[in-house]
Amino acid sequence: MESPADPGTSRHLYESEPFYVLPAGEIEEEPPQRAIPVEQSVEHAYFRLQLTAIADDRNPDEIVLGGVSWADGGHSKKVSRQSTLIAKFGREGAVQIPMSKIVKSIEQQILAAPKHPSGWRMQINADKAETPVKLGISLPTSASMLSFLAAREDFFSVVRKDNSELVMQGLSFRDSEKKCLTYAEAYLDLVRDLMKQAETATGIERQQHLQFIRNILAVDSIHMVLTDFRGRHREAVLVSPTHPIRALWLLNWMEIGKDWLDKTKKVCLHAQHENNIYSVDYYLSNPLNRNYQVPGTCLAILVDRSALDHVMDLELDSEPVQSYNCPYRVCSI
C-alpha cells in the first residue's frame, strides 16, 4: 500500500530531503555556530584552535585559515566604536576579532600609503576623540631609504589583501614570514646607514642626519594628548603594529608560539596533558605575563600610566579594561 504524500509537499512520507554521497575524499563545510568566539588576532585564533585539536587527539597542522574579511564589508554606517574582522577556519568555524574604529582608520591610512611614512597626532578631550591628524616628516633620499620603501610597500600589500583593506590583526604571520623579515632587515640597513652618515658628518649636516634618524624611528607612531574635565594634560605615544620593529616583534611572538606548540604535542604523549595545554594557551593569550605582546595592538609609552586606562575605556565599547590586563605594553617614563 502506497503511503500518502506529506501535506504541502510532493514527497511521500518515506522520502527524505535530497542529499549527496561523497565516494572518496573530504569536504570542507563550515559548521553552524550559535555564537562566534572572540579572539585578539588571527594568530591567537590559530593557536587556540591548534591547542584544541591537540587536546582532542587531532593533528593541529590540519587547522587551515580559509579567509579573513570585515564583518560589515569594511563600510558600516552603524554608529559604533568597534569594527570586527571575521576569520574563517573551515570545519573549525569562524572567529571574530574586534578592534577600535579609530585605530583601524589610522592603520588603514598607513597601509594605503607605504611610500609616505609619517607620524600622527590625536587630541582627546574628556570622552571625545578628535580626528587624528597626519604629520609630515622629512626623510632622506638615499638608496637605503628607497630599498626600505620598496620592502614596506611589498609587506603592506600582503597585509591589506588588495581591496580588502585588512589590518595587522588579520595577518597570518606564519604565511608572511619572508616579507616581514625583508621589511625589518631593510629598516635595519636604513638606520645603520643613517647612523654611519651621522658619525662621519659635522655641523649642520650632522644635525640633519640625526633628525632623519629621529624621524625614521618615529614613523607610524601616534602622539596622543589627553585632556580631562579639569583641563589637566597627559600624553601617550602609540606605535602602530605596522612599524618594522613591531612587525618583527610580532613575528617573533608567533615563532615562539609555534615552538611551544611543537613541544606541547610531545608533552601531551604523557599524563596530565590537559594542564600542559592550558598553560601554553594561558601564556600565549596573556603575553604581558611573560613580556610578550599582542598582535595588532599599539604599544603605549606613557608619561602617566592611568592615561592608558582612559584611552581603553574610550576606544573600546565594552567593560572597563585595566592597564595591566589590556593588550598594551606599558612603560613609565
Helix (H, G, I), strand (E, B) or coil at 299: strand
Q: Cα(171)–Cα(107) distance, rounded to whole angstroms?
A: 13
pLDDT for position 257: 87
pLDDT for position 176: 93
Backbone φ, ψ for residue 81 (5° rounding) = -90, -5
Q: Cα(209)–Cα(211) distance, rounded to whole angstroms?
A: 5
Per-residue model confidence as pLDDT tens digits over 216-262: 998 999 888 888 888 888 888 888 999 999 999 999 999 988 888 88
The amino acid occupying position 255 is E
Backbone φ, ψ for residue 175 (5° rounding) = -100, -5
DSSP string, 271-290: S-HHHHHHHHHHHHH-GGGG
CA–CA distances in Å: residue 79 to residues 2, 82, 83, 284, 317: 59, 9, 10, 33, 11
pLDDT in tens, the chain (333 residues): 555 555 555 667 777 777 777 776 665 666 666 788 899 999 999 999 998 888 888 888 889 999 999 987 655 555 677 899 999 998 889 999 999 888 899 999 999 999 999 989 988 887 788 888 898 888 898 999 999 999 999 999 999 998 889 999 999 999 999 999 999 999 999 999 999 999 888 889 999 989 999 999 989 998 888 888 888 888 888 889 999 999 999 999 999 888 888 887 777 655 455 555 555 565 556 544 444 344 444 433 333 334 434 443 433 333 333 333 333 333 322
pLDDT for position 227: 86
